[in-house]
Structure 1
Amino acid sequence: MLKPIAETSEKTTPGRTKAAPSIRWALASLSLSMLMPSLGTSIANIALPTLAQAFGASFQQVQWIVLAYLLAITTLIVSVGRLGDMVGRRRLLLGGIALFTVASLFAGIAPTLWLLIGARAVQGLGAAMMMALTVAMVGETVPKERTGSAMGLLGTMSAIGTTLGPSLGGILIAGFGWKAIFLVNIPLGIANFLLAMRFLPADRRNHGASQGRLDTIGTLFLALTLAAYALAMTIGHGSFGAVNVGLLLAAACGVALFVVAETKVKSPLLRLSMFRDTALSAGLAMSTLVSTVIMVTLVVGPFYLSRALGFDAAHVGAIMSAGPLVSALTGVPAGRIVDRLGAHRMTVTGLVGMMIGLSLLAALQGKFGIAGYVGPLAIVSLHYALFQAANNTTIMSNITQERRGVISGMLSLSRNLGLITGSSVMGAIFTFASGAADITAARAEAVAAGMQVTFIAAALLIAATLGVALTSFVFARRSNLLEDAA
């Protein structure tokens, strides 16, 4: 019978080497719990052209394979953390792993596009549980002095999942067909579940947390709002009509209802009073905008490389892995640079570098072959890693200990909002700029033109983000001067 680590290590003296193997296996489980959701995000993007052809669907329709997954994560990632406190983090993490694995099986055998989209939504629910609870489990799994190393390991595994997705997806599609990109999660999920069952610490009953209540109304309003927003951006084949406008108005009403609901409940999904902090609000806004741009490279890239440059799925996956690989390799050095030179300065540097890289992607379209795409993409990815380290440092270093969990959830939410925007809004710009009703049937020249316009729009979005950063720093400096004068 499998026993959790808390039971097997109770008789072991703290600090003894006997506990080390158990901790290593527990970290292996948490690493898989971080790897699988990030792999689930990136591996599906490479398959969009193949899935559009397999199901005879439009670009807007296959976008929902990505959007359904991201929507489920975004709307639930804050709530599942609180639910874990109520029912037990280990128990809920095990449920998330099982749900993700079973949903992957159904996605792999789905006979229709809409059943596949439904399976992806359920897979996103499992991913939300895994992402929210994996970080929370670190403090219960490793000694306090090793927490930083464990967090660094989880960050690396997330980057590896993002990096591995395009290349692994391309290889699987070329060798076994699109079903394999979902079925590959089954052995990973089974191994993860067994490791978690055996080595993760048993839940400790928290009477205070168990008496709390989930903000079901806020979660429902947020889910409906995001669904209306994403749907408005994906229907209509790149053009906006009455239905699109109606959905956007519904999304706006949903925001208003969400705000009202959050002021009425005792335990809101988001504490709106936190947004009075200018630095926090600016940091979250910048996180959303930059995530929007990063998602553009994942959504537009496969169509540009396959339709305009003529690469097959395996080569497209390998080329698209360049950006995430750069981010994974530069993440730790970027953090050290931020510590040495300052978060504010490196935030600006990161945004300026991203703007230059995106401008080069648009300007070098069709020139220098693969180098004309990979080179600028590497510049974008390197400076994205720098921005992430600097912006996260700014947000997390200026808050009190008791607010860290809430702010961390809000930061995750801001990133996912950006991913949804990048997949929907920027996807609509791409379709519109190509001048084709269906991007999957567009000529190579039209796809190239659409890519160029989309990356110009992305560069302008980063310029706006830079404006937010500079304005925030001015306000912060003025506030510091006023505090010193007082």
Structure 2
Amino acid sequence: MTVAEQNLDGLVSAPQQNRSVGWALASLSLATLLSSLGTSIASVGLPALMQTFGASFQAVQWVVLAYLLAITTLIVSAGRLADVFGRRPLLLAGIALFTSASVLCGLAPTLWLLIAARAVQGLGAALMMALTLAFVSETVSKERAGSAMGLLGAMSSVGTTLGPSLGGLLIAGLGWRAIFLVNVPLGLLTFALAWHALPVRSKTAQATQGKFDTMGTVLLALTLAAYALAMTLGRGNFGALNIGLLAATGIGVVLFAATQTRVKNPLVQLASFRNPRLSASLAMNLIVATVMMATLVVAPFYLSRGLGLDAAMVGVVLSTGPLVSALSALLAGRLADRFGANRMMVAGLFSLAIGTFLLSLAMTRLGIVSYVVPITVTCFGYALFQTSNNAAVMSGISAGERGVISGLLNLSRNLGLITGASLMGAIFAVASAGARQGVGQQLLSSAAAAHGMQITFQTATALALIALVLALLSARVAGRVEPIVP
């Protein structure tokens, strides 16, 4: 082949390669959308499920909890399985499992069969969530990793934003089963795109095929399940059962660590955590998720009781945060590519701290503006941090560990969400109860809601500042530590 022919071939193949990357990112984006939609769309159906099955709220809430618990307990194992057996087949299996379970959810004749199907759906979501980040590093260049991470972050926010409104329309028009069956055509489209566009063979899967840490997987799943249950059971009443589950969590952590040091092919390389960049990134991810959960747990009470908004207006105002996150994630990816992930991570956390501080002022006299402006600053900072943190971590690891590290990133975020729901909710309850003593035990007053908002987001601001300090230390170390995983 002559030089001219080679140049012509390069000119032809470049657009083809770009189209291939585009289709691959489209499939990964849809997989991200599906997993986040599976979380948000089910919540709006709980009242309809209570009426259909004649069940209590404590029973129907397991439709949401079963999905979250399955993701939390299995996401690291899902990532490691993909590192061992190949990412493409595991991602396709996750999409197929999620889609099939959606059919079972939509056809479930009893509540407990619905809950079981939701747990299976969560397993499929765990595979999708763990592998989408890992595949980005294989499908796009390092220079475009930030933009790709931003796209996935935007799709996650779109799924979170779209869930309640789409779910409400489907329930009103077609009934509660439609909120699960709507995933079926989306899942089939995602599967077809992934089958067509994703690389057929993983570069690293064959080296360790057949070697999987079953004991570590079981111990980690049980440990995470115990922690998740400790944080979610009791609905604010932290009793003996919760304490017992936390004690079981501590024992599980010790046993898991001991197991990982003795097996030949551990689920998680504990030596990886000696790297300050990885440890700091996971810690920041957990802290930021804890902070952001306060906006979901506390904000509805502030808007309804503190500002006196009706239910419809509360829903509209609450959509501001996810919408800002979705729009900001795309910009955040470009900023991370241009100015560097570490710098944008620091900038994002600085914006997050400012936003939570403004929320802590809870100036009810300003009306809706007192929430919309601070939440815009907060969610922009969150999107900038999330995109930059994911890009920094995933671009600095070896190819053979991408699945498990992606799983750890998602795990730290999920643990933060679970912790935030319990911790921030408890802080708000205690703070607002103290302010309510002077007005009796009636429904939460405007002053009590504002006081609870102030204390909760003062705590959130302190946590955001801790994460900012970790980011500054991590940025200082970044120049001296090359790979995140040895």
Tell me the TM-score normalised to structure 2 length. Answer: 0.78
Measured in 2, the distance between the counterparts of 1:13 and 1:338 equals 28
Measured in 1, the distance between the counterparts of 2:203 and 2:343 equals 44
Deviation, 1:295, is 2.5
Partner of 2:377: 379
Alignment RMSD, CA only?
4.1
Q: How does 1:156-167 map to 2 (within 5 A)?
A: 156-167=154-165
Partner of 2:191: 193
Partner of 2:73: 75
Identity among equivalent positions (%) equals: 58
Measured in 2, the distance between the counterparts of 1:239 and 1:73 equals 24
User: 1:192 and 1:258, CA in 2 relative to 1: closer, same or farther beyond 3 A?
Assistant: same
Q: Contact 2:97–2:120 (CA<8 Å) still a contact in 1?
A: yes
Measured in 1, the distance between the counterparts of 2:181 and 2:406 equals 31
In structure 2, which of residues 309, 331, 334 is the aligned counterpart of residue 333 of structure 1?
A: 331
User: 1:338 and 1:452, CA in 2 relative to 1: closer, same or farther beyond 3 A?
Assistant: farther
In structure 1, which of residues 90, 93, 111 is the aligned counterpart of residue 91 of structure 2?
A: 93
What residue identity is the alignment partner of 1:298? L
Please give the per-residue CA displacement for 1:291-316, whole angstroms capped at 9, x wherever unaligned: 1222332344456656875644x655
Partner of 2:321: 323
User: 1:192 and 1:108, CA in 2 relative to 1: closer, same or farther beyond 3 A?
Assistant: same
Q: Contact 1:67–1:420 (CA<8 Å) still a contact in 2?
A: no
- Which secondary structure does the structure 1 equivalent of 2:261 belong to? helix
Partner of 2:42: 44
In structure 2, which of residues 267, 270, 292 is the aligned counterpart of residue 269 of structure 1?
A: 267
What residue identity is the alignment partner of 1:464? L
Count how many residue pairs are aligned between Structure 1 and Structure 2.
464
User: 1:455 and 1:132, CA in 2 relative to 1: closer, same or farther beyond 3 A?
Assistant: farther
Partner of 1:388: 386
User: 1:459 and 1:174, CA in 2 relative to 1: closer, same or farther beyond 3 A?
Assistant: farther
Partner of 2:3: none
Please give the per-residue CA displacement for 1:209-247, whole angstroms capped at 9, x wherever unaligned: 453422222222222222222222333342222222212
Q: Contact 2:356–2:460 (CA<8 Å) still a contact in 1?
A: no
Range with bigger deviation, 73-82 or 110-119? 110-119
What residue identity is the alignment partner of 1:467? I
Measured in 2, the distance between the counterparts of 1:243 and 1:300 equals 25
Deviation, 1:158, is 2.8
Deviation, 1:186, is 1.6
Measured in 2, the distance between the counterparts of 1:18 and 1:398 equals 28
Deviation, 1:72, is 1.7
**Structure 1: gaps spanning 5 or more residues:** 1-11, 437-441, 482-486
Deviation, 1:348, is 4.7
What residue identity is the alignment partner of 1:238? G
In structure 2, which of residues 212, 215, 240 is the aligned counterpart of residue 214 of structure 1?
A: 212
Q: How does 1:454-469 map to 2 (within 5 A)?
A: 456-469=455-468
Q: Contact 1:46–1:302 (CA<8 Å) still a contact in 2?
A: no
Range with bigger deviation, 36-45 or 141-150? 141-150
**Structure 2: gaps spanning 5 or more residues:** 1-9, 435-440, 481-486
Partner of 1:154: 152
Q: Contact 1:39–1:164 (CA<8 Å) still a contact in 2?
A: yes
Measured in 2, the distance between the counterparts of 1:261 and 1:213 equals 15
What residue identity is the alignment partner of 1:463? A
User: 1:379 and 1:174, CA in 2 relative to 1: closer, same or farther beyond 3 A?
Assistant: farther
Measured in 2, the distance between the counterparts of 1:359 and 1:182 equals 38
Measured in 2, the distance between the counterparts of 1:394 and 1:146 equals 12
Measured in 2, the distance between the counterparts of 1:66 and 1:170 equals 16
Range with bigger deviation, 109-118 or 370-379? 109-118
1:284 paired with 2:279, answer no
User: 1:475 and 1:207, CA in 2 relative to 1: closer, same or farther beyond 3 A?
Assistant: closer
Q: Contact 2:27–2:190 (CA<8 Å) still a contact in 1?
A: yes
Q: Contact 1:270–1:410 (CA<8 Å) still a contact in 2?
A: no
Q: Contact 1:282–1:469 (CA<8 Å) still a contact in 2?
A: no
- Which secondary structure does the structure 2 equivalent of 1:259 belong to? helix
Q: Contact 1:343–1:390 (CA<8 Å) still a contact in 2?
A: yes
User: 1:145 and 1:472, CA in 2 relative to 1: closer, same or farther beyond 3 A?
Assistant: closer
Deviation, 1:114, is 4.1
Q: Contact 1:70–1:419 (CA<8 Å) still a contact in 2?
A: no
User: 1:319 and 1:36, CA in 2 relative to 1: closer, same or farther beyond 3 A?
Assistant: same
Deviation, 1:423, is 3.2
In structure 2, which of residues 96, 115, 118 is the aligned counterpart of residue 117 of structure 1?
A: 115
Measured in 2, the distance between the counterparts of 1:126 and 1:399 equals 25
Please give the per-residue CA displacement for 1:390-424, whole angstroms capped at 9, x wherever unaligned: 44455456656665554333222211211222234
Deviation, 1:185, is 0.9
User: 1:87 and 1:208, CA in 2 relative to 1: closer, same or farther beyond 3 A?
Assistant: closer
Partner of 2:424: 426
Partner of 1:470: 469
Please give the per-residue CA displacement for 1:79-119, whole angstroms capped at 9, x wherever unaligned: 22332344443333222112112222333344555443332
Partner of 2:5: none
Range with bigger deviation, 49-58 or 188-197? 49-58
User: 1:237 and 1:22, CA in 2 relative to 1: closer, same or farther beyond 3 A?
Assistant: closer
Range with bigger deviation, 60-69 or 316-325? 60-69
Measured in 2, the distance between the counterparts of 1:480 and 1:68 equals 42
Tell me the TM-score normalised to structure 1 length. Answer: 0.78
Q: Contact 1:43–1:181 (CA<8 Å) still a contact in 2?
A: yes
Deviation, 1:175, is 4.3
What residue identity is the alignment partner of 1:66? V
Q: Contact 1:430–1:454 (CA<8 Å) still a contact in 2?
A: yes
Q: Contact 1:34–1:157 (CA<8 Å) still a contact in 2?
A: yes
Measured in 1, the distance between the counterparts of 2:468 and 2:348 equals 11
1:358 paired with 2:356, answer yes
What residue identity is the alignment partner of 2:456? A
Measured in 1, the distance between the counterparts of 2:84 and 2:396 equals 28
Q: Contact 2:287–2:464 (CA<8 Å) still a contact in 1?
A: yes
Q: Contact 2:92–2:195 (CA<8 Å) still a contact in 1?
A: yes
What residue identity is the alignment partner of 1:418? G
Partner of 1:8: none
Q: How does 1:412-451 map to 2 (within 5 A)?
A: 412-430=410-428, 444-445=443-444, 449=448
Measured in 2, the distance between the counterparts of 1:361 and 1:175 equals 37
Measured in 1, the distance between the counterparts of 2:202 and 2:339 equals 42
Please give the per-residue CA displacement for 1:109-148, whole angstroms capped at 9, x wherever unaligned: 4455544333222111111112233344456667999777
User: 1:160 and 1:256, CA in 2 relative to 1: closer, same or farther beyond 3 A?
Assistant: same
Range with bigger deviation, 31-40 or 336-345? 336-345
